[in-house]
């Protein structure tokens, strides 16, 4: 087995209003720290995001935000807010099709990582995989500022506890996704490890958090290469 085959391959999903290139820059400290054990593959969501979140703020001529994308929308005006109860999941089917295509083209993947709406999607994918409704085989997940989608079409998810190892990174000062929402998501997984940090809606990369990432990833690395 070559050195590259030894490494874990992780699919990385960005947050709302981001893209693959921006997310790669944001996570570069993580990429550098885990490079001995991990190769990351970044993908951009399929849906461009409106210029503003509030439709009342739209002006004549306002169209789309260049290079800002989302995985699905929970408002009829094609915007999204993670804490919203109800609403559609517009564009979700297209996202699932994209993920399956990425896995077929660039996989197989050992794990998957997501931030914010990307983390929400990671959890949904894990549930679909558990029920054998999607063509993926992720063996672990890293969920940063994650939450359960409250879109009406997603309320049927998480009826079973999902037996996949997960690392949940939660910011105690997260003003975008409240802590209790991330904690509730962690309860949906059988093998969940919760890591807290004092910051907000960010991907923490302090030495303490790097150790947490390293420990989790190294265990997955050993599991793959010693099995």
What is the tens place of the pLDDT at every residue in 106-139?
999 999 999 999 999 999 999 999 999 999 999 9
DSSP codes, 7-53: SEEEEEE--TTB-HHHHHHHTHHHHHHHTTTEEEEEE--SEEEES-S
Predicted local confidence at residue 94, as pLDDT: 98
Higher pLDDT, 78 or 187: 187
| Closest by Cα among 132, 125, 95, 134 to 189 | 125
174 is catalytic: yes
Cα–Cα distance measured from residue 225 to residue 227, given in angstroms and rounded to the nearest whole number: 6
Mean pLDDT computed over every residue of the chain: 91
Give the CA distances from residue 132 to residues 125, 137, 150, 162, in Å, rounded to whole numbers and listed in that order. 10, 10, 22, 12
Out of 14, 110, 116, 149, the active site residue is 116
Q: Given this structure, which CATH class describes domain 3-225?
A: alpha beta
Quote the pTM value. Answer: 0.91
Out of 110, 174, 197, 212, the active site residue is 174
201 is catalytic: yes
Render pLDDT for 134-184 as a digit per residue (tens, 0 to 9).
999 999 999 999 999 999 999 999 999 999 999 999 999 999 999 999 999
């Amino acid at each position: 087995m070559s050195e590259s085959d030894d490494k874990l391959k992780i699919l990385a999903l960005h947050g709302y209003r981001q893209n693959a290139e921006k997310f790669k820059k944001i996570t570069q400290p993580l990429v550098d720290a885990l490079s001995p054990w991990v190769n990351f593959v970044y993908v951009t969501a399929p849906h461009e995001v409106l210029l503003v979140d509030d439709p009342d703020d739209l002006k004549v001529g306002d169209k789309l935000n260049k290079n800002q994308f989302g995985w699905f929308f929970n408002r009829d005006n094609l915007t999204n807010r993670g804490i919203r109860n109800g609403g559609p999941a517009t564009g979700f089917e297209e996202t699932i099709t994209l993920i399956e295509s990425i896995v077929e083209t660039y996989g197989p993947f050992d794990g998957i990582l997501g931030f914010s709406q990307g983390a929400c999607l990671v959890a949904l994918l894990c549930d679909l995989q558990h029920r054998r409704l999607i063509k993926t085989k992720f063996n672990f997940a890293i969920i940063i500022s994650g939450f359960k989608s409250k879109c009406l079409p997603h309320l049927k998810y998480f009826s079973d506890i999902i037996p996949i190892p997960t690392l949940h990174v939660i910011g105690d000062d997260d003003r975008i996704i409240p802590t209790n929402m991330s904690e509730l998501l962690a309860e949906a997984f059988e093998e969940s490890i919760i890591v807290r940090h004092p910051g907000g809606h960010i991907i923490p990369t302090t030495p303490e958090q790097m150790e947490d990432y390293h420990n989790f990833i190294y265990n997955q690395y050993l599991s793959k290469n010693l099995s």
